[in-house]
Amino acid sequence: MKNILITGHKSGLGKYIYNNLKKKYQVKGLTRSNFKIIKNSFYDLIVHCAAKRPIYGDSNNILEYYKDNILLTEKITDLSFGRIIYISTIDVYEKSVNQKKENIEINPNFLTGIYPISKLISENIIKDKTKNFLILRLPSIIGAGTKKGSIYNLLRKKNNIISYSKESNFNIVDYSTILNIILYTFKKKIIGIFNVASKKNINIKNIIGKNFKNYGKYNYQAGKIDINKLKKINIKFIENTNEVIKKYIK
């Protein structure tokens, strides 16, 4: 039986992956209290989902943010493992690029905010420590058990006023698709960096409803995400954002 370690298994995508993999494999979730025990074992696979988003405007959280993201990645890559899958983001690409493609050179000076920079740093830590890595650059995600996050809030209309502008566009992928990619690539021993995205982006109005009026000023654009590399692995992994949204609209 394969021995698998999941980080970030208490919520969101990590929790979804943990709950599904433990049905078939020997799975452990990393916590602050069990790291000393965890580090003495070998893992066939590590799925590194843990990521803490920064609290903007509060400089007192910078050190904790560093520890929970970059330093954690350093510690994870020092463990004994066969393969590691890192959950990254499409936001590591510069906003000015015409097409977000895995092989383009990224200049961190043109990234916006500490979150994409920390993700890019963690990617490079992993690439430096091992050759047996898979990095999945994800757009917005949603899935069974989601109880927070920007897309969840938009779908459930939890906020009367939102920060996004009415021109904002998103690309959304389902948890189940990500899990299927993890299982498939692990079985086939596929390594490298892959964009994971749906075929088409969706305007915020089609998520929250055309009658909503209280938009903000932040114009988020998922951009044009190249998924040809993912298509070559298995075309079944490619969905349409509208199809994903329909599963969760109430």
Domain ranges of the chain: 3-246
For residues 169 and 219, give the distance between their C-alpha atoms in angstroms, rounded to a whole number: 8
pLDDT category, 130, cuts 50, 70, 90?
Answer: very high
Residue 107 clears pLDDT 70, i.e. is over it: yes
Arithmetic mean of pLDDT, 204-212: 85
pTM of the model: 0.93
Rounded percentage of the chain residues whose pLDDT exceeds 90 = 63
Arithmetic mean of pLDDT, 73-92: 96
User: Which of 31-35, 120-124, 153-157 reaches the highest mean pLDDT?
Assistant: 120-124
Arithmetic mean of pLDDT, 122-147: 92
Arithmetic mean of pLDDT, 39-47: 94
The total of other beta-carbon atoms located within 10 Å of residue 172's CB is 25
For residues 140 and 202, give the distance between their C-alpha atoms in angstroms, rounded to a whole number: 11
pLDDT category, 208, cuts 50, 70, 90?
Answer: confident
Amino acid 159: pLDDT: 57
Residue 110 clears pLDDT 60, i.e. is over it: yes
Angle formed by the axes of helices 175-188 and 12-21, nearest 10° = 50
pLDDT in tens, 161-177: 788 999 999 999 999 99
Amino acid 121: pLDDT: 97
Arithmetic mean of pLDDT, 181-196: 96
According to CATH, the topology of domain 3-246 is Rossmann fold (3.40.50)
Helices (H), the chain: 12-21, 35-38, 62-66, 72-77, 114-129, 150-156, 175-188, 205-208, 228-233, 241-246
Amino acid 156: pLDDT: 67
